[in-house]
Amino acid sequence: MNLRATGIIFRRELQTYVRSPMGYIVAAVVLLLDGVFFYATALGPEAGERLSGLVLAGFFYNASGLTAVAAVALSIRLIAEERQTGTQLLLDTSPVRDWEIVLGKFLSALAFLSAITVATLYIPLLILVNGKIAVGHILIGYLGLVLLGSAVLSIGVFATSLTRHQLVAAAIAAVITGVMFLFWELSQIVGAPLSRVFAAFAIHGRHFAGFLSGLLHLRDVAYYMAVTYFFLFAATKVMEAKRWE
């Protein structure tokens, strides 16, 4: 693998996020809604006397949904925009492999999304100052957010590799992500063995529950890494097929 080429693509795409209003809009919306939800559940008049650990788990639960939405929003331009502007042809004729292009673009989106996620750290710190929570709970919760974001970003990269239209890519990514979220709800209402199958493939619910509680299970880490790898691999194959069209 040409790490230098991947690094160049990574830096170019990261600079695009930093310089474009879209990146700041996504960051502002996520940070604002995280703050609003935190106030409503932990500081608002209806909060009551909740344990600090439950407040932190509630924050991670709300943040996970916002992270998924932000991941879709950040990923849909990665390849579709190249086709719209005509710069995809330059990449196709360059000595850079499709896998390196996909990886560089994915890592740039993951870096930007991780920065947004880390920017919410003030919320767990507020809980830590005013209550009693374990630092490990905070770290594991944030690891879960990054892993979930990584999985949804890979879905977005796959969706944006299918079309030149960003709205179509957004719709495809939203549908795939929504179905994978829905798998957990379906697992609760159907009988075995389908319930176990749906639970195993659900992108939230079973696989994110441990991170909410500060419990690290390797099976959950492996699941998110497997989903990320699968959709990045699928995106690479789509790009290889389109290169020869």
Give the pLDDT band of residue 221 (cuts 50, 70, 90).
Answer: very high
Judged against a pLDDT cut of 60, whether residue 161 lies above it is answered with yes
Distances (CA, A) of 6 to 88, 95, 147: 15, 12, 21
| Domains of the chain by residue range | 3-243
Alpha helices for the chain (secondary structure H) = 3-19, 21-38, 52-75, 80-85, 88-92, 98-118, 122-130, 135-162, 166-187, 194-201, 206-213, 218-243
Task: Report the pLDDT value the prediction gives residue 84, as an integer from 0 to 100.
Answer: 58
Is residue 38 within 8 Å of residue 50, measured between CB atoms?
no
Judged against a pLDDT cut of 70, whether residue 1 lies above it is answered with no
Considering the chain, what percentage of its residues have pLDDT values greater than 90? 35
Apex CA 205: angle with CA 180 and CA 136, to 5°?
A: 125
**Average pLDDT value for the chain:** 84
State whether residue 220 is helix, strand or coil.
helix
* Mean pLDDT for the stretch of residues 87-108: 72
Residue 173 CA to residue 159 CA, distance in Å, equals 5
Judged against a pLDDT cut of 50, whether residue 51 lies above it is answered with yes
Judged against a pLDDT cut of 60, whether residue 45 lies above it is answered with no
Q: Is the peptide bond before 95 cis (omega within 30 degrees of 0)?
A: no
Judged against a pLDDT cut of 70, whether residue 49 lies above it is answered with no
Judged against a pLDDT cut of 70, whether residue 62 lies above it is answered with yes
User: What's the pTM value of the predicted model, to 2 decimals?
Assistant: 0.88
Characterize 126-141 residue by residue with b for buried, 16 or more Cβ atoms within 10 angstroms of its Cβ, and e for exposed: ebbeeeebeeebbebb
Give the pLDDT band of residue 66 (cuts 50, 70, 90).
Answer: very high
Task: Report the pLDDT value the prediction gives residue 244, as an integer from 0 to 100.
Answer: 59
Judged against a pLDDT cut of 80, whether residue 94 lies above it is answered with no
* Mean pLDDT for the stretch of residues 40-45: 65
Tens digit of each residue's pLDDT (9 = 90 or more) over 134-154: 888 899 999 999 999 999 999
Task: Report the pLDDT value the prediction gives residue 90, as an integer from 0 to 100.
Answer: 47
Judged against a pLDDT cut of 70, whether residue 228 lies above it is answered with yes
* Mean pLDDT for the stretch of residues 185-200: 82
Which range, of 50-54, 107-111, 151-155, 212-216, averages the lowest pLDDT?
A: 50-54
